[in-house]
Each structure stands twice: as structure tokens, then as C-alpha cells.
Amino acid sequence: MNASYDPRAADCLVDACVAVETEARYRDLPPAPSDRIFAVMENGQLLGIVSERQAALFPDRIFADLLLLRQPPTVAATTSLEQTLARLEEGPWDSLPVTNDEGTFIGVVTRLSVFRCLLQREQASRERLASTIRLLEEELTHHRMAAAVFEATSEGILVTDAQARILYVNRAFVETTGYTLEEVAGKTPHVLSSGRHDEGFYRAMWGKLLSEGRWSGEIWNRRKNGEVYPEYLHIDVIRDKHGQPHRYVGVFSDMSRDQEVQRQLYDLAFHDPLTGLPNRALFRERLTAAIGHAQRTKERFAVMFLDLDRFKEINDALGHSAGDALLQEVGQRLRSTLRESDTVARMGGDEFTLILCGMEHEGDSRTVARKVLAAFDRPFQLADRELRVSASIGIACFPDHGDNAETLMRHADTALYAAKQGAGSRWCVFEPGMGRRASERLELANALRAALDSGEGLHLAWQPQVHLGDGRVVGVEALARWVHPRLGPISPARFIPVVEETGLAPKFTAWLIEAFCGDLKTLLLTQPQDSLQFALNFSARSLHEPLLPDILGEQLGRIALPPGRVEVEITESSLMGEDSVQVRTLQRLHELGVQLAVDDFGTGYSNLAYLLRFSVDRLKIDMGFVSGMEHNVHNRKLVEAIIRMAESLEIEVIAEGVESETQRQMLLQMGCRKAQGYLFARPMVMAEFMHFLGAR
């Protein structure tokens, strides 16, 4: 090994990095004996990196869909190890892409690979130390350039006489210990003693020194200011012509910095830098230990996967700094809720894992789950705002649901997914049927991707919006529908979350705009409409597409439809965003002339400041409030309050889900003028809608 070895990021690249194309799938790759990191490439450019575990969880997905929204930053090939460690500490990632001087991706570094490079550098330092010693012995023996080497070396050196009285020290000795030659001359090295070593230690050291002529090892000494520090010390005996000890030469290097780096490396390798909780590696280590203990003692324990509900919406609405602060608070609250013997770890993102030891019965895990969820009843205080957050929990118990780490983790994750299909703040214990449902969801995602590629099975249904007074059709809303060739009609409540969670949102949005404008072109060519307003739903994820206004404006231009005739419907949570791309997208839609409606108003944040900030044109009262007006006084009061508020802000109101004449009359009395629902018409394909308009 080169004694001057000074590794950089390019020297720490992992061998297990595999380049894959965006359309590749994990299932098609040959197996490997160790965990890999997949570099997802497109046209020779790096799009991001995906871990082995992430890919293995979804083996049928293409790698492009596995890319996380927040990718780790790249580091230059010449970046020092200290700077590389600092970049790893900046975010919740275990690996970083590395680029050369031309910006070309060349590989990946991980905390473990950097740790190995540091160990190699330490070995090189020791070799350099040994080389310095050999050179010093030669120079002292032959009296050549001894003084220059003595002063130039970065390691501390002291020379004593045969009675171990200090004769000379070099500059590095003074800088390390704080003692000058005048202060230690004539004294023994005992002046540096830390008191941490007993007489037996020094007796053994001198015994080996006199018998073998040298000694090396780690030792604790004390600086002049009283600070105790570790050093690596090598002592050589220089003998006279009679073979008797004439001088003792000690060369040492301060190890305190290296030990601090090693401590930081350990923390980075086994703890999450954001929350301080054990990370994935330490969690797996403790889970393996828990399995071994339970097998010996015949005890039971539980593994829980906990995931925050709608965490991405919080990140999008309030920013990543608020999301990080929330994760830290969640970590602290979980630690305070559980016992010291339990393990709370953060696996990444908003996913936490728990190991609950000593569970006598499966019911004990259910009790703990209720206790954990009860901890989320209190709002979280983030800076100047209160935030209420719910969570979902999946539970797998040893040995009922698995006798190894992989099975327990997979089943807890499957139970978590089942819990998240509920209405929030739920827990589920693993059942065999859950795995089948997870597979069905993956099958649904693959089928939807194929449908978007081919266009088969997807279409728009159009639901009229009418004036409550005279029944005139004043607008129409386009609703996405999907008919699977084998499963039949798939509810939007099932496939829209799949779109949002699997990275299909950009492709789905493009299809939605194209289908919307295609249907309108058919309508306007045969039945020109001068007064109808045309509404289209967009998700919060769609608003993160900076080209959305350009695409919509271009498509509307092709059918000669003024943007003012188009209304974009978004949810309340979409308005909460502080993300610059999302805010700019809304502003550009407004500048384009597109109308803005807030869908399902009253079910989310209901923040008036955001209604004014984004110049909202319409509020759509959620059908859940409308359907309950006839029998629920609270619903009636809430609907009336929304209408009054909208009037004061000069914002139009449309009621959704009107299904009875009584509801229509009540809305009219409250001052609502427009509505949609089954009382007037069900959603229909464009041909049926055109016939509906002609008949009226």
C-alpha cells in the first residue's frame, strides 16, 4: 500500500453498484450474493439510485418507478473523505452518486465504503510512521540529515538517554502535548502519564522493549492542559557499539481525531442522522438478536411497521424542513411511549419500525398499538403552528407470522399496507390473505401502466352541473374512468391512489389532458357551446409538473377553446403548498386564464388565506356534507357557513352529490345556485352527454 495514501470519494466506490436502464425490472436481473445499489440510467445520464431492498419489494416495477422523489446529491470524484461524510450527514441517505470532472456518473459510495477507505488510510498512516522510524534510525546511525527529518515529520518524537531522561523533542511533540523542550528536558516520559495505565502495563512495555529492542501500541497520555488523549506510540532502542541501550526514540501520532471519525462513522452506519434512532442496519441486527433470544427462551415478540398518513402532503404543503421537524418529534414521542427494552428505529422517509420484546400474547401487541396511536392524538407543535397527524401500524408476531427477519419484516409491511387502506389511525395484525391483496395491488399498478401506454380501457365520463333555479346546464365536469378487461370497472378510489403512489402521475396527467381536449373537440365540432364551463380534476402531484400550464394551453389552443372556459379542480391540500414549483404552476394557470375551483371543500384545511392568495373562483361543497343535510343539523350549519363565507369573498359555490329534491330546495334557500349530482344526471360518456344536451 502506498504510504502516502490519501483516498478521495473516487477511491471508495462500491463494487455492488449496478447500472440499469429505466425500463428494467428487478425480477429480470441475475441474483447476487450481496446487496446491490442500482444506478438508474437513461441515455447515459444518471436519473437516481435504488437500493436492493427497495427493488426487491417491488420486483415487477420498472426502475424508473422506484426512484424516490428526493434523491441524494452527487459528490465529485476528488471530494475528501471528511467532506463525503459531511454530505452523508446532510440527509436521510446511506449512499451518494459520484461524478468525475466532466460530470459523468462513475459509481456510488456508501458509509461502509468510506469507513473502509478510512481504515486503509489509517493503515497507510501506520506504514508511513514505520517508514519514518526506519528513516530516523538510519539518519541517527549515520548522522545524516537527522535534524531536518526530526523537525519535519508530522509525528511527535522524543529522544531520551539510557536512563529515559528526555534529551530532545521535535515541533510535533510540542504541538501535540503543549510542552516545550525546556519544560520536559531531563524529565522522564512519566510527565505525560494519564494515570489510566497501571504498573503492570508499563512493566510489560519495558520488558518487551529491552528484550526485542522495540515496542508499539496504543497508549493514553495527558497534555499540558490536562486533556487526556489516545496516541499510537512506537519506541525503538538505539544501542552503542557494545550493544547496550544508548538512546530510546519514541515516535507517536495523536489518535483522538481518528477515534472521533470512527465514532462518527459508527453513528452514521447504525443511526439515523435526522432522529438519532437506530437505522435499518441496526434494526436488522437487533431483530436477528431478538429472534435468537426468543428461540432460546421460547418467548414471543412483535415487529411493528408504522407509517405517517399523508406525510407527503405535509411535505408538499409546508416544506421539507417542517417534515423533518415532524419526523424528529414523532421519533421522540415513540421513544417516550415505549419501554427502554423495546427498539424504535427509522427505516427511511416517514416509516418507523418497532421491536416489542416480551409479548406473552398476540393481544399484547394490539394493546401497544393502541397506546402508540393514542400518542398521536395530541397535536404536534412545529414552530408557530399546530399539526395533527395520524398514523397506521402493521404488526407481525414471532413465531406466528414468521421465524426469520425477512419474513417478519415483509409480513409487517404487508399488514401496514392493509392498515393504510382504512381511514387513518388504524392498526392491522398480519393475516395470510393480506399478501394476496398486496399482490393484487401490484397487478393493478402494472395493468394501469399498460392501459396508459395503450389507451385501452381508460375514458372520461362527463357529469353536468346545473343551475338549481331553472335546471339549465351551466357546466360539466370530466371524471376519469377505467374498465379493466378482466376485472371490469375499477373505481377511481382504487386506481387514483395507485397513480399517485407509483410514479404514474405525469403520464396519467398527460393522458387526462389529451382525453379532455379530444372529447371537447368532438363536442364543439357538432354542438358549439358558448356558455358551458368545462371542469377537469388535477391532483397535488400534477401541480409539481412545471410544464403543466404549457401542455394544457397548447392543447386548448388546438381546439380553439379559450382557457377562461376551462376550470381546474384541485383539493384543499394542494393550496397549502409552499413548494416553489407548485406555487408557480398555480400562478401560471391563473395567468393563462384558467379558472380555479377547490374540490371537496370542508374536508381538509379550509384555510381562507390560501383561497385569497390563489384567487380561487369556485368552492365545491363536499357531497358528504350535502347528503347529510336532511337529517344532520351540523351538516346543514356547515354547508350554510361555507355558502355565507364564499359570498363574503365573492367566490361562487357548487354543491356536489345532490340526490334528492329536498336537498335541492334546501341549497336554494341557503343561497347556493349551482350543483351536480344524480338528481340531475349521472356521469356519462361524451356521446351520451351530447345526446343529453340535445334533448334538453
What's the order of all strands across the beta sheet hosting 426-429? Answer: 343-348, 351-356, 301-308, 391-398, 426-429
Q: To the nearest whole percent, how much of the chain has pLDDT over 70?
A: 90
pLDDT on residue 437: 60
What gap in Å lies between CA 150 and CA 137, rounded to an integer?
11
pLDDT on residue 537: 87
* Terminal-to-terminal C-alpha distance of the chain: 88
> With bands split at pLDDT 50, 70 and 90, how would you rate the model's confidence at 423?
very low
Q: Mean pLDDT score of the chain, rounded to an integer?
A: 84
Task: Specify the residue for cell string 483522538.
Answer: 256
pLDDT on residue 436: 61
- Residue 395, C-beta contacts closer than 8 angstroms, at least 6 positions apart: 302, 303, 304, 365, 366, 369, 412, 415, 427, 428, 429, 430
Reply yes or no on whether the pLDDT at 213 is more than 80.
Answer: yes
Please give the backbone phi and psi of residue 319, each rounded to the nearest 5 degrees, phi first: 100, 160
pLDDT digits (tens, 9 = 90+) for 184-210: 999 999 889 888 888 889 999 999 988
Instruction: Tell whether the torsion through CA atoms of 289, 292, 296 and 299 is positive or negative.
Output: positive
- Residue 137 near residue 235 (C-beta atoms within 8 A): no
Q: Of 144 and 460, which is predicted with more confidence?
A: 460
Name the amino acid, one letter, at 606.
S
Mapped onto helix, strand or coil, the DSSP state of residue 107 is strand
Q: Of 422 and 448, which is predicted with more confidence?
A: 448
Cell of 618: 369556485
Q: Is the pTM of this model over 0.75?
A: no
Which 3-state string (H, E, C) describes 475-533?
Answer: EEEEEEEEEECCCEEECHHHHHHHHHHCCCHHHHHHHHHHHHHHHHHHHHHHCCCCCCE
Mean pLDDT score, 472-495: 88
Reply yes or no on whether the pLDDT at 607 is more than 60.
Answer: no
Q: 112: closest CA among 187, 6, 251, 17?
A: 17
Lowest mean pLDDT among 138-142, 451-455, 510-514, 553-557: 138-142
Mean pLDDT score, 314-337: 85
pLDDT on residue 609: 57
Mean pLDDT score, 525-544: 82
